[in-house]
């Protein structure tokens, strides 16, 4: 394939270059290609990199009004149609390097000069496709920082260099601050594929702590992702710890949370027949007070706790009086309490509701296995004294926990969005609290928190009050934790599904196929601005429509040495993990 695609034409500016395409280059697909051009500046050279965003064909004979009549009658014009075509391309400049020679392999390593040329280029200058060899020479100053997640879009064989830094000190190869990332794409766009490769790249930085909050259990089980992130992380020397809220993670002692979870089951509504919203709220408050007055409630078994709660209700009529003012309501609940204390069947039904939820706060799970304190796990994650930080995955699904076909059973209730939102809020608030403590000690926590299924839990329009409360808190955490060295990565299906206060804080955004609805297009226009780049994005092909599948993404933000302006770069993600390892210098 040819290297030179054309010559600098007119008009051209310091940021947008017109290219007159050579006849030989018309045989090859050029739209979306990365190209380079040079401009001499005193005794040095500027090498500009840019993307071919649009190509136009013009033929003055076809534009002539008289000739159009001939075309209408006789078709193409012999010796004029095709032969007289002139093709020009628009190239958006994204990065400029200063070199000692026109050949970047000569002299000292090239230096970054900015996001645009300091002088418009001279017409007639060569414009060439870039290749791996050219990029290696141009970027040799940063060779140790570069990672590759795939190929430049539309350019088979040209690996797109990215700079994905940890959040620590620049002296240690870090960015010096945390930043937030958004990964967007419809189902089937390769969102999970891209996210897994991205995490594999960040996992190389062993000083970066990584927490994955996994509402569906996908990263826990490895289902639907292209390779084992667990094995990869262990292979490069990182300790991987996997915890499940339902089986081996102990929540902090929190009586209001226990009763809140219990209230989502049939415990109050059906077993105690407390159905009014105000009555349920009063009952929950009374039960919370009773449990809080049992200082060892996390040390005793659920049966003992339930019997103590029922005995307190039975012995103190004023408690039930605060739940129901009317006598018939008080009498009904009092009768149920006495029946539960006297009869095995009613007591067993109540215990069935309480037992799996009470287990979340105890040192052992329902099978007798040991739970680890969530507080301790997160403090270990955020500990900055370890040279090799862990990757911790917290599974918030009910995989492996108690289950029941009843949608309101204690096991099934852990699968509801509102309960997951409440549990995730507990995790996130603990992260924020520990981060605030550590920040007071002037420590950069250098930690990435990855949030899957963000369209459910960080939504613009949450489906329930718990999800709304979580989304509100996440907006606060995204704004405040960056200065602590905690960066958040949100994985979601749509741009519009992410809370606006979070979206605007994202520094790196990754857009997969399918974000084409009216609201999505509006968000993209607001984010990208450049209509030519948006047209290129809209040219993405559905990965499910071609075999083998390809997963194109448009990336914005400071993620590549090929773009200093924040202008988008275009990537086709690897589909072969061995290729990822080979291209990044890891043994296969």
Q: Is the pLDDT assigned to residue 446 strictly greater than 90?
A: yes
Chain segment 183-203, per-residue pLDDT in tens: 999 989 999 999 999 999 999
pLDDT value at residue 376: 95
pLDDT value at residue 393: 97
Q: Is the pLDDT assigned to residue 404 strictly greater than 50?
A: no
Of 135, 34, 131, 151, nearest to 573 by C-alpha is: 151
CA distance 517 to 534: 13
129-143, 430-444, 540-554: segment of lowest average pLDDT: 430-444
Tracing tokens 């534009």 back to the chain, one arrives at 63
φ/ψ (deg, to 5) at 557: 110, 180
pLDDT value at residue 400: 52
Pairing of the two strands 372-373 and 249-250: parallel
| Domain boundaries along the sequence of the chain | 4-146, 164-250+368-559, 255-359
Q: What is the DSSP string of 83-133?
A: TT-EEEEEEEEEEEEEESSSSTTSSSPPEEEESS-SSPPPTT-EEEE--HH
Q: Is the pLDDT assigned to residue 70 strictly greater than 80?
A: no
pLDDT value at residue 64: 75
Mean pLDDT confidence for 317-339: 95
Mean pLDDT confidence for 108-124: 92
Q: Is the pLDDT assigned to residue 29 strictly greater than 90?
A: no
Dihedral sign computed on CA atoms, order 513, 519, 524, 529 = positive
pLDDT class for 383, splitting at 50, 70, 90? confident
Mean pLDDT confidence for 541-549: 87
492: helix, strand or coil: strand
Provide the CB-side half-sphere exposure for 395 (13 A, CA). 19
Kind and range of the H or E run holding 555: strand 552-556
> What average pLDDT does the chain have?
90
User: With contact defined as beta carbons under 8 Å apart, do 496 and 519 qualify?
Assistant: yes
Of 469, 82, 443, nearest to 257 by C-alpha is: 469
Mean pLDDT confidence for 193-219: 95
Chain segment 241-276, per-residue pLDDT in tens: 999 998 999 999 999 999 998 998 889 999 999 999
User: With contact defined as beta carbons under 8 Å apart, do 536 and 570 qualify?
Assistant: yes
Rg over CA atoms, the chain: 30
| Dihedral class, residue 352 (left if φ above 0, else alpha if ψ from -120 to 50, else beta) | alpha
pLDDT class for 413, splitting at 50, 70, 90? low
Angle at 466 between CA 461 and CA 468, to 5 degrees: 30
pLDDT value at residue 407: 45
Classify residue 77 by its DSSP letter: P
Mean pLDDT confidence for 459-469: 87
382-396, 405-419, 450-464, 484-498: segment of lowest average pLDDT: 405-419
Q: Is the pLDDT assigned to residue 1 strictly greater than 50?
A: no
Angle at 123 between CA 117 and CA 125, to 5 degrees: 75
Q: Is the pLDDT assigned to residue 309 strictly greater than 50?
A: yes
Q: Considering the chain, what percentage of its residues have pLDDT values greater than 70?
A: 97
Q: Is the entire prediction scored with pTM above 0.85?
A: yes
pLDDT value at residue 27: 86
pLDDT value at residue 331: 95
Pairing of the two strands 16-21 and 86-99: antiparallel
User: With contact defined as beta carbons under 8 Å apart, do 329 and 323 qualify?
Assistant: yes
Tracing tokens 């490895």 back to the chain, one arrives at 222
Mean pLDDT confidence for 67-73: 75
Tracing tokens 């040799």 back to the chain, one arrives at 140
pLDDT value at residue 83: 78
Q: What is the DSSP string of 510-553?
A: EE-TT--SHHHHHHHHHHH--HHHHHHHHTPPPGGGSSS---EE
Q: Is the pLDDT assigned to residue 478 strictly greater than 80?
A: yes
pLDDT value at residue 405: 45
Q: Considering the chain, what percentage of its residues have pLDDT values greater than 90?
A: 67
Q: Is the pLDDT assigned to residue 69 strictly greater than 60?
A: yes
Q: Is the pLDDT assigned to residue 344 strictly greater than 90?
A: no
CATH class, range 164-250+368-559: alpha beta
43: helix, strand or coil: coil
């Amino acid at each position: 394939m040819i290297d030179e695609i054309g010559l600098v034409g007119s008009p051209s500016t310091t940021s947008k270059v017109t290219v007159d395409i050579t006849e030989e280059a018309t045989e090859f697909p050029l739209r979306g290609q990365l190209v380079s051009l040079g401009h001499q500046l005193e005794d040095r050279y500027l090498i500009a990199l840019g993307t071919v965003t649009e190509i136009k064909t013009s033929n003055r004979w076809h534009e002539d009004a008289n000739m159009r009549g001939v075309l209408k009658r006789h078709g193409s014009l012999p010796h004029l149609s095709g032969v007289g075509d002139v093709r020009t391309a628009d190239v958006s400049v994204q990065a400029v390097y200063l070199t000692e020679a026109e050949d970047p392999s000569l002299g000292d390593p090239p230096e970054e000069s900015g996001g645009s040329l300091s002088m418009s280029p001279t017409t007639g200058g060569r414009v060439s496709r870039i290749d791996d060899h050219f990029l290696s020479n141009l970027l040799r100053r940063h060779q140790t920082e570069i990672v590759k997640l795939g190929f430049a879009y539309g350019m088979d064989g040209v690996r797109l260099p990215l700079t994905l830094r940890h959040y620590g000190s620049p002296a240690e190869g870090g960015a010096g601050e945390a930043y937030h990332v958004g990964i967007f794409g419809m189902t089937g766009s390769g969102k999970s594929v891209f996210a897994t490769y991205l995490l594999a790249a960040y996992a190389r930085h062993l000083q970066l702590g990584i927490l994955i909050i996994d509402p569906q259990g996908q990263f826990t089980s490895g289902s639907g992702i292209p390779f084992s992130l667990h094995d990869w992380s262990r292979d490069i020397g990182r300790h991987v710890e996997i915890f499940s809220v339902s089986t081996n993670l102990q929540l902090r002692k929190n009586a209001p949370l226990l009763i809140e979870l219990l209230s989502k089951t049939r415990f109050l509504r059906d077993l105690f027949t407390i159905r009014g919203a105000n009555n349920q709220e009063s009952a929950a408050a009374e039960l919370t007070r009773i449990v809080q007055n049992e200082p060892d409630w996390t040390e005793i078994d659920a049966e003992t706790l339930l019997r103590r709660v029922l005995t307190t209700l039975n012995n103190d009529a004023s408690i039930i009086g605060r739940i129901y003012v009317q006598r018939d309501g008080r009498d009904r609940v009092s009768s149920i309490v006495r029946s539960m204390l006297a009869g095995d069947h009613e007591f067993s039904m109540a215990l069935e509701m309480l037992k799996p939820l009470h287990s979340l706060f105890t040192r052992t799970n329902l099978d007798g296995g040991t739970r680890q304190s969530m507080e301790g796990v997160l403090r270990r994650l955020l500990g900055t004294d370890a040279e090799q930080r862990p990757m911790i995955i917290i599974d918030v699904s009910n995989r492996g926990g108690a289950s029941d076909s009843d949608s309101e059973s204690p096991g099934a209730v852990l699968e509801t969005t509102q309960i997951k939102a409440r549990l995730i809020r507990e995790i996130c608030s603990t992260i924020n609290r520990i981060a605030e403590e550590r920040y007071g000690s002037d420590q950069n926590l250098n930690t990435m928190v990855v949030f899957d299924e963000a369209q459910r839990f960080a939504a613009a329009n949450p489906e329930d009050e718990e999800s709304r409360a979580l989304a509100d808190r996440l907006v606060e955490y995204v704004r405040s934790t960056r200065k602590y060295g905690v960066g958040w990565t949100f994985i979601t299906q749509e741009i519009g599904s992410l809370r606006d206060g979070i979206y605007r804080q994202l520094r790196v955004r990754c857009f997969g196929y399918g974000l084409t609805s009216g609201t999505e297009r509006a968000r993209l226009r607001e984010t990208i601005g450049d209509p030519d780049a948006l047209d290129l994005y809209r040219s993405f092909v559905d990965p499910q429509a071609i075999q083998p599948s390809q997963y194109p993404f448009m990336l914005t933000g400071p993620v590549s040495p090929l773009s200093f302006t924040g202008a988008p770069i275009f990537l086709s993600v690897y589909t072969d993990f061995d290729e990822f390892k080979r291209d990044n210098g890891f043994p296969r």
